[in-house]
Structures are given as structure tokens and as C-alpha cells.
């Protein structure tokens, strides 16, 4: 069983980890994950619970699986049904609405029901190893929830960090003394099982994890803020970290251990970290909702892209993500795939899957 610590990108990385460590195809892992795809896929702020889907299937009293024919209830959106359609794994839904106590209960039920040979808690980037006061930290809430819950179950859980620094939150150098040496380095072979998913999934951190495993190197610009993330030989490395040490360091995870609602968790995040990332999503959703949709005109879009690339080169950028291009050109999340199709048809030589190379 693999617990995807943060959002949907960690679930895709979990499939890569399963291929690398356990063979993947013979007995695919159960991947426990949030339905939390941010505003690119889901216009509703925050994570989704079982009540936001139709077609879920019960696995235990508190845990539901997301099959390929499940559907999010509009206006919500989710990548999980499509993941279930394209990958052989069982995707079980983390429901955070009852705080850490609720997720702990879900984990305990799964462990009793499945008797898994191993339990891995996987985070891409390493922000699960944060204290909570780092100025570059942006999305600590989901990781803190899963960390706190995993520390309370009566079963051994191994904490793994893939691609230190690739989420653009904590620099890899800051994380070096918070985890052990690499236990595994992902390769192109481990990426292959999720190659079709990477063609449409919006996760930037997992895209860079896959790209570095395929040998891509450089400096990648991500997010609406245009954060630069180095793509190095350390990018595809997976490190083990001590679970108890991570909990002792993570102030938010310790503060929320006894929480029974997501609202409580949010309030602790505001007090410990100074913000709630769901508040950020609420504000951004309100702003996006009031913004008129810009038409995707091919000629105008390619001219805008030229300007963006010129400026990116001046910043030393060699690669970027389709999410970053979408937002930099003033387009919305629903237009990301149309933009991607335009770019791949007009300038295919710049595609270094799943990233865009700045020429």
C-alpha cells in the first residue's frame, strides 16, 4: 500500500514507485490518495470527499475506491477516474473532512482489510519534511494530515521523498540533512507505465520527476509565480526519512494530531504557518471566476509564447510546464490541453516529455 502524501501528482509518482520497487504489473499497489487537483482541473477550492462523486465503491466502512466509471459531481473535477482507467492500481480516496482522526481510522481499516506487505508514505518534493515556518513553503496542509495519521497507526510506515526540491517549495539543499542517502533512482523504464498519464495530468512536480528520470537537465519554471526549479541528476532520486523525526519537526502535523474536522486543520495551519492554502484557492477561484475568458487564437498565442520564451531565456530558464505557459499567457485551466495540442502540432521539436523546452 502506498499513501500519496499530498495531491494528485503524488498518486502518479506512487505508480512509478510501485514499478521501481515492487514490479507494478504483477500485483499493483493500492494507492491511497486525495482527490485534490487544485484549480486547473477542479474549480472548487480544497479537496473532494466521497460525497462529491458518483460511482465510488466501498472498500471498508470509511474508505471508498475510485473506479474508472466514477464521476465527480459538477462543478467539482477530479483526475482520479481517468487515472483508474489508465493504470492497473486500485485508487482509494483519502477523506480529510474528519481531520487526522478520520484519516487515521481510514488507514487502520485498510491495514486490517488488506494486510499489506508494506506501507509507504510518498511525497514528491519533500515539503512533508518542513518545519512550517519556511518562507518558500506553500502547500503544507495535505502532507501534514497524512504524516500525522501515519504516525498514529499500529503498523510500520516508511516515509519516502522523491525528487527533493522538485515541488518548488523547500530547496534540495535544505532537505539534505532531513533524510537519508538515495535508496533508489528512478529511470526511464520506471516512468514508462505512466507515460500516457503524463500527457494530460497537470502535476508539475511529478512531470519534473519523470523528466529528470528520462535524463532532462536544466532550469524549469513552474506555477503562476514562475518559480525556477533545477533539473539535476538528483531529481529522480528517492530518499528514506525517519517518520518520527518528520513528525517532531513538522509543527503543523503535531498541532493537528487530535483534529476531527478539516476546518480545525485549516485553523491550525493559519496559526502555525500563517495561512491556509485552501484560503489561497478560495481567493484565486473568486478572481478567476470574475475574469473574462480569453479566446485561444493560434497566431496570437504563438506570438505571446515567443515573448514569454524570450523573457524566460533572459531568466536562465531552459524548460517549463504547460501549466506555467497556460497561466503566463492568461489562459484558464480548461484551455490547457488545447494550448498543449497547439504547441505540439506547431513546434514538436520543443517537447521534452512531459516538459516544454525553451529554445
Question: Is 198 a member of any domain?
Answer: yes
Question: Is 274 a member of any domain?
Answer: no
Q: What is the pTM of this model?
A: 0.96
Question: Is 278 a member of any domain?
Answer: no
Q: Are residues 239 and 302 in the same domain?
A: no
What integer is the mean pLDDT of 88-97?
98
Q: Are residues 230 and 329 in the same domain?
A: no
Q: Which of 226, 231, 128, 144 is nearest to 179 (CA)?
A: 128
Residue 290 has pLDDT above 80, yes or no: no
Question: Is 270 a member of any domain?
Answer: no
Q: Are residues 158 and 62 in the same domain?
A: yes
Whole domain around residue 92: which residue ranges?
2-255
Residue 24 has pLDDT above 80, yes or no: no
- How many domains are contained in the chain? 2
pLDDT confidence of residue 101: 98
pLDDT confidence of residue 22: 92
Q: Are residues 131 and 220 in the same domain?
A: yes
Question: Is 245 a member of any domain?
Answer: yes
Beta-carbon count within 10 A of 163 CB: 30
Of 221, 255, 289, the one marking the end of a domain is: 255
Of 198, 223, 255, the one marking the end of a domain is: 255
Q: Are residues 341 and 226 in the same domain?
A: no
Q: Are residues 250 and 344 in the same domain?
A: no
Q: Are residues 192 and 328 in the same domain?
A: no
Amino acid at each position: 500500500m502506498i499513501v500519496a502524501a499530498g495531491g494528485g501528482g503524488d498518486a502518479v509518482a506512487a505508480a512509478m514507485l510501485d514499478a521501481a520497487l515492487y514490479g507494478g504489473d504483477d500485483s499493483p499497489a493500492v494507492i491511497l490518495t486525495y482527490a485534490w487537483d487544485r484549480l486547473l482541473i477542479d474549480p472548487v477550492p480544497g479537496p473532494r470527499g466521497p460525497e462529491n462523486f458518483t460511482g465510488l465503491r466501498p472498500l471498508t466502512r470509511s474508505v471508498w475506491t475510485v473506479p474508472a466509471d466514477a464521476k465527480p459531481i459538477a462543478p467539482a473535477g477530479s483526475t482520479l477516474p481517468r487515472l483508474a482507467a489508465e493504470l492497473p492500481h486500485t485508487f482509494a480516496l483519502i477523506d480529510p473532512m474528519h481531520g487526522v482522526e478520520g484519516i487515521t481510522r481510514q488507514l487502520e481499516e485498510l491495514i486490517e482489510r488488506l494486510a499489506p506487505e508494506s506501507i509507504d508514505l510518498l511525497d514528491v518534493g519533500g515539503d512533508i519534511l518542513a518545519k512550517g515556518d519556511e518562507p518558500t513553503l506553500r502547500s503544507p496542509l495535505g502532507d501534514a494530515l497524512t504524516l500525522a495519521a501515519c504516525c498514529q497507526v499500529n503498523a510500520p510506515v516508511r516515509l519516502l521523498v522523491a525528487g527533493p526540491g522538485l515541488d518548488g517549495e523547500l530547496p534540495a539543499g535544505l532537505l539534505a540533512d532531513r533524510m537519508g542517502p538515495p535508496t533508489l533512482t528512478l529511470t526511464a523504464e520506471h516512468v514508462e507505465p505512466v507515460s500516457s498519464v503524463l500527457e494530460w495530468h497537470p502535476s508539475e512536480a511529478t512531470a519534473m520527476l519523470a523528466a529528470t528520470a528520462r535524463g532532462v537537465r536544466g532550469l524549469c519554471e513552474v506555477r503562476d509565480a514562475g518559480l525556477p526549479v533545477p533539473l539535476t541528476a538528483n531529481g529522480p532520486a528517492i530518499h528514506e526519512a525517519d517518520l518520527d523525526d518528520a513528525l517532531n519537526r513538522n509543527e503543523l502535523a503535531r498541532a493537528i494530531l487530535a483534529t476531527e474536522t478539516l476546518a480545525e486543520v485549516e485553523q491550525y495551519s493559519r496559526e502555525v504557518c500563517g495561512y491556509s492554502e485552501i484560503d489561497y484557492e478560495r481567493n484565486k477561484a473568486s478572481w478567476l471566476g470574475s475574469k473574462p475568458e480569453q479566446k485561444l487564437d493560434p497566431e496570437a498565442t504563438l506570438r505571446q509564447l515567443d515573448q514569454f520564451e524570450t523573457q524566460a531565456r533572459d531568466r536562465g530558464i531552459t524548460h517549463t510546464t504547460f501549466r506555467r505557459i497556460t497561466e503566463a499567457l492568461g489562459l484558464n485551466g480548461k484551455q490547457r490541453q488545447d494550448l498543449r495540442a497547439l504547441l505540439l502540432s506547431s513546434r514538436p521539436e520543443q517537447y521534452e516529455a512531459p516538459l516544454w523546452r525553451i529554445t
